[in-house]
Amino acid sequence: MRRVSVVGTTGSGKTTLAMALSARLGAPYVELDAIRHQPGWVELPDEEFRARVAERVSAERWVVDGNYGGAGVRPLVWSRADTVVWLDTSLPVILARLFRRTTGRIIRREELWNGNRETFRNAFLSRQSLFIWAFRTYWRRRRLMPQWLAPYPHLRVVRLRGAGEAERWLASLDSSRIQA
pTM value is 0.92
Give pLDDT tens digits for 101-135.
Answer: 999 999 999 999 999 999 999 889 898 899 999 99
Q: What is the pLDDT of residue 176?
A: 47
The CATH number of the domain holding residue 154 is 3.40.50.300
User: In the chain, how many domains are there?
Assistant: 1
- Residues 105 and 118: beta-carbon distance below 8 Å: yes
Beta bridge partners of 30: 64
Q: What is the pLDDT of residue 180?
A: 45
Query: In which domain, by residue range, is 171 found?
Result: 3-179
- Residues 11 and 98: beta-carbon distance below 8 Å: yes
Helix or strand (DSSP H, E) at 120:
helix 120-124
Give pLDDT tens digits for 72-88.
Answer: 899 999 999 999 999 99
Q: Are strands 42-43 and 37-38 parallel, antiparallel or unpaired?
A: antiparallel
Q: Is 177's pLDDT higher than 70? A: no
